[in-house]
Amino acid sequence: MAEYSALSLLKNALSGNRDWRPAWRKAEPKPAYDVVIVGGGGHGLATAYYLAREHGIARVAVLEKGWLGSGNIGRNTTIVRSNYLLPESIRFYDFSVKLWENLSHALNYNVMFSQRGILNLAHSPAQADEYIRRGNAMRHGGGDAVWLTRHEIARRVPGIDFSPRARFPVVGGLLQPRAGTARHDAVAWGYARAADRLGVDIVENCEVTGFLREGDRITGVATTRGDIRAGKVALAVAGSTSRLMRMAGIERFPIESHVLQAFVTEAVKPYVDCVVTFGGGHLYMSQSDKGGLVFGGDLDGYNSYAQRGNLPLVKEVMSEMVAMFPATARLRLLRSWGGVMDMSMDGSPIITRGPLPGMYLNCGWCYGGFKATPASGFSFAWTIAKDEPHPINAPFTLSRFERGAVIDEKGQGPTPKLH
C-alpha cells in the first residue's frame, strides 16, 4: 500500500485517478490464526492494529458478518469527549482523546478529528453545581474544563433560546475545549487500512455461528465461511455480545441490548460551532462538515437487536431540540438510523479476559463506544497480548459486578436502560 501524501494525490490527479489501489485486501480466511477478533467495527479494527503495531502479533483475523463499517461505527453521532466524573473514566477517556489528537498522522489517513469542544448546558443552580463538580474532577485528573456563564454561552451559541419565555432557561454550561467530532466511517477505513498494511486479514461477510472448544477452552470459531482456529478469540461486537455469549453457553451476562436512534437534518449555513448537549433532557447536537445538524437522544427503552427505532422517541428528541434551538423547527429531517447499544449494568465498559479460557471481551460501551475507539483498541490489544490488563482498563472487569465495585457515572444503579 502506498503512503497517502500530497505527491501521491498530485500523481493520481494527473493520471485521472485510475491508479489508486484498494485501501485493504479482500482477505480469504486462513485455517488458523494467533488471534481472531470477532467484529469489524472501530474497536475490533483498532484492536487488530495495535496488536500488530505495539505487540508484533500480525497473524490476526478480523471477522465481520457484513461489510466493514456496517455496525455502530457507521451509525453514531461522531462525538469525542472525556468529560467524566469518576477517576477511572477520566483516565480512560482522556487517554483516548490524546490518541485521537495524533490518530490521522499515526494511520496516514485523515479521520477528520475536529476539536470544536463540547458544551453541557445547565438549566438550574443545582445542575450548575453538579457540572462544576464534574469540571473540577476533570481538571484534577489532568483534563480540561471551563465554566461558561449564561452571557458567554449566548455569545458563543446564539441559536439557543435565551428569551424570557424560554421553557428551559440556561444558567451556565460546562465546556470541554479539547472534545469534538471525527468522521466515523473514516475511522473504520483508517484502522482497516493501517491494520492490513501490518499483515492483518480483514474478512468481510463472515458471520460467526458458534465456537470451537476443547473442554472449556475456546479454540476458534465456526463461521459461514468455515471453521477458523485461533490461540485467542476476542469479541468486539457491541450489541450482539449477549447473542455470542449464548452461543458459548453463557446464558447470564451483565449486558442488555437497546436501540439508540440518531438523526440528521438538511444542510444549513454555519449554525453551531461546537457540540451542545441539552441539560433538560437527553439530547446532543453538532453540525457536520456538510452543514446538516446531527443529533440524538435517549434509548428507545426496550430490548432489541434491530437497527431501527420507533416514532415516540423521534417525537421526544425533536421536541427537545426545538426547545433548545427554536429555529430548527422549520428544518427538514433527511434521515434517521439506529445502532444497537450493549448497555452494561453500571453504564461503564467491560475490557477483560472472558469467562472461558481463550476468550477476551470488549463490550458494555453504552453510548460511549465511538469516542473510546483508540483507547479501547490499545488497551484490549494489551490485554490479549499480555493476558493482563493495561492500567487504564484494569478497573473495567467482569468481576466488579460480583465485588460491588461498580463504576456508575450516573448513579442510576443496576438498570442498564437508564445509563
pLDDT per residue over 89-119, tens digit each?
A: 999 999 999 999 999 999 999 999 999 999 9
CA–CA separation, 282 and 323 (whole Å): 12
Q: Which three cell numbers stand for residue 49?
A: 492494529
SS3 379: helix
CA–CA separation, 293 and 287 (whole Å): 4
Question: Which of the residue ranges 1-5, 254-258, 281-285, 331-335 would you say has the lowest mean pLDDT?
Answer: 1-5
- pLDDT score recorded for residue 17: 87
Q: Spell out the alpha helix ranges (H) of 1-85.
A: 6-14, 42-55
- pLDDT score recorded for residue 214: 96
Q: Does pLDDT of 230 surpass 90?
A: yes
- pLDDT score recorded for residue 399: 93
Predicted confidence band of residue 239 (pLDDT cuts 50, 70, 90): very high
What homologous superfamily does CATH list for 26-79+184-252+346-418? Answer: FAD/NAD(P)-binding domain (3.50.50.60)
Phi, psi of 98 (to 5 degrees): -65, -40
CA–CA separation, 249 and 156 (whole Å): 53
- pLDDT score recorded for residue 58: 92
In contact, 243 and 102? CB cutoff 8 Å: no
Q: Where are the beta strands (DSSP E) in 150-254?
A: 172-176, 180-181, 201-203, 208-214, 217-223, 226-235
pLDDT per residue over 31-61, tens digit each?
A: 999 999 999 999 999 999 999 999 999 999 9
- pLDDT score recorded for residue 412: 87
Predicted confidence band of residue 5 (pLDDT cuts 50, 70, 90): confident
Q: What angle do CA 255, 73, 377 make, to 5 degrees?
A: 75
pLDDT per residue over 199-227, tens digit each?
A: 999 999 999 999 999 999 999 999 999 99
Cα–Cα nearest to 346, from 249, 413, 417: 413
- pLDDT score recorded for residue 177: 98
CA–CA separation, 271 and 107 (whole Å): 31
CA–CA separation, 294 and 324 (whole Å): 14
- pLDDT score recorded for residue 1: 59
CA 379 to chain centre: 15
Cα–Cα nearest to 394, from 92, 78, 112: 92
User: 113-176+256-343, which class in CATH?
Assistant: alpha beta
In contact, 206 and 179? CB cutoff 8 Å: no
In contact, 300 and 326? CB cutoff 8 Å: no
CA–CA separation, 187 and 180 (whole Å): 14
pLDDT per residue over 121-179, tens digit each?
A: 999 999 999 999 999 999 999 999 999 999 999 999 999 999 999 999 999 999 999 99
CA–CA separation, 212 and 231 (whole Å): 11
Domain boundaries, the chain: 26-79+184-252+346-418, 113-176+256-343
Helix-helix angle 373-386:87-101, to 10 degrees: 100
Cβ-based neighbours of 22, under 8 Å, separated by 6 or more: none
CA–CA separation, 415 and 346 (whole Å): 7
> For the whole model, what pTM was predicted?
0.96
pLDDT per residue over 55-90, tens digit each?
A: 999 999 999 999 998 889 998 999 999 999 999 999
CA 346 to chain centre: 17
SS3 147: strand
